Structure formats: C-alpha cells, structure tokens
C-alpha cells in the first residue's frame, strides 16, 4: 500500500455540532458515511469523507456533521477501485479522532464513530478529475 498512495495531509472543510442534551442523557446514534475521490492529471487526488451522526429520536437534540478532506499522491498504474479503498482507510482514523476530540472538548464523553468496512460495499462512486 505504501507504494500506491502517499498521504500528504488533511483538513476539515466543514464541522457542524449541536448538543442540546441535558447532562447524563442517554442517546442512541445513527450514522451515515459517504466517501468520494477526485483525481487530477498530476497523480494527486483528494478524498472527501463525510460523516453524519445524530440521535435517532431527535436530530435537533444532538447532531454532528464533519467533512474531512485528505490529499494523496498516487501511483497512476493502480486501479482506482483500489486507490479509493486505500485512501479511505488512510483518512478514516483522522475523522474518527476528530469526532472524538470534538466531543471530549465539548465536555461530554467521547463519541467514537464505528469502523466502516468499505470493501464490503457493492457500490463505489468514482470521482471525476479535479
């Protein structure tokens, strides 16, 4: 994998956080993930991971949406399907840490988004050139 992609860095392009819960409130989360990669002609790609989680009972009570973008250089000889999976696996831990840190710094127990097995998904969306 190290020869297929090189992680260049990441940034959060959007963060939305709503916490209108009382102390000690019990929440049941629902999660939604999306991931897309845009490729350029100079062997650089941008992976964009969007995670949304909210309270199942009341989305207005607790909600987080984060859009995290990662920049990668890649080997153009590798199939894009494989690059898509590899860039997701590289970027996901940063998103997970960001959500956990956000919630801890807001004074609530850390929210840790569950792992997502992108390889088990039957549908991939491949990005257009940047």
pLDDT tens-digit readout, 96-128: 999 999 999 998 889 998 887 777 765 445 455
Residue from 87, 75, 95 nearest 33 by CA: 95
User: Residue 57: exposed, middle, or buried by beta-carbon count in 10 A (0-12, 13-18, 19+)?
Assistant: exposed
Q: What is the DSSP letter of 93?
A: H
Summarize pLDDT for 28-63 with one digit per residue, the tens: 889 899 999 999 989 999 999 999 999 888 888 999
DSSP annotation of 129: B
With the C-alpha atoms ordered 31, 113, 48, 17, is the resulting torsion angle positive or negative?
positive
Gyration radius of the chain over CA positions: 16
CATH H superfamily, domain 5-108: SecB-like (3.10.420.10)
pLDDT at 1: 47
């Amino acid at each position: 994998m190290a020869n297929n992609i090189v992680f260049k860095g990441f940034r959060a392009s959007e963060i939305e956080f709503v916490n209108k819960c009382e102390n000690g409130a019990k929440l049941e989360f629902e999660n939604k993930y999306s991931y897309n990669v845009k490729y350029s002609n100079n062997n650089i790609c941008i992976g964009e991971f969007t995670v949304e989680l909210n309270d199942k009972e009341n989305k207005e009570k607790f909600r987080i949406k984060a859009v995290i973008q990662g920049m990668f250089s890649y080997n153009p000889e590798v199939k894009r399907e494989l690059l898509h999976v590899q860039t997701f696996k590289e970027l996901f831990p940063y998103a997970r840490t960001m959500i956990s840190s956000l919630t801890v710094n807001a004074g609530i127990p850390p929210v840790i988004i569950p792992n997502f097995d992108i390889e088990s998904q039957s549908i991939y969306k491949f990005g257009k050139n940047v």
